[in-house]
Amino acid sequence: MQTPSSVVIRLRVNGDLRECAVTPSTTLLEALRYGLGLTGSKQGCDKGDCGACTVVVDGEPVLACISLALAYHDGAEVTTIEGVAEQGGPHPLQDAFDLTGAAQCGFCTPGILMSAWALLEKAPDPSREEVARALSGNLCRCTGYTKIFEAVEMAAARLRERGARRSP
- Point out which residues bind another protein (CB under 8 A): 1, 3, 25, 33-34, 38-47, 49-50, 52, 80-82, 84-85, 90, 93-95, 97-110, 113, 131-133, 135-149
Least separation, in Å, of the C-beta of 108 and another protein?
5
Burial of residue 76, with CB atoms counted within 10 A of its CB: 0-12 exposed, 13-18 middle, 19 or more buried: middle
Q: Which helix (H) or strand (E) holds 57?
A: strand 54-57
Q: How far is the CB of 59 from another protein (least distance, A)?
A: 19
**Which CB sits closer to another protein, 67 or 143?**
143
Smaller CB separation from another protein, 74 or 86: 86
Which CB, 57 or 131, lies closer to another protein?
Answer: 131
Residue 168's contacts (CB-CB under 8 Å, 6 or more residues apart) are: none
What minimum distance in Å lies between the beta carbon of 162 and another protein?
18
Residues near 89 by beta carbon (within 8 Å), at least 6 away in sequence = none
Provide φ and ψ at 19, rounded to 5°.
-95, 150
Q: Is the Cβ of residue 67 or residue 138 nearer to another protein in the bound state?
A: 138
Min dist. Cβ of residue 111 to another protein (A)? 9
Cα–Cα distance, 92 to 73 (Å, whole number): 31
C-alpha torsion angle, residues 92, 48, 56, 102 (rounded to 10): 0
Quick one: how far is CA 81 from the chain centroid?
Answer: 5
Least CB distance to another protein at residue 16 (A):
15
Measured from the CB atom, the residue of 77 and 82 that comes closer to another protein is 82
Q: How far apart are CA 137 and CA 129, in angstroms?
A: 14
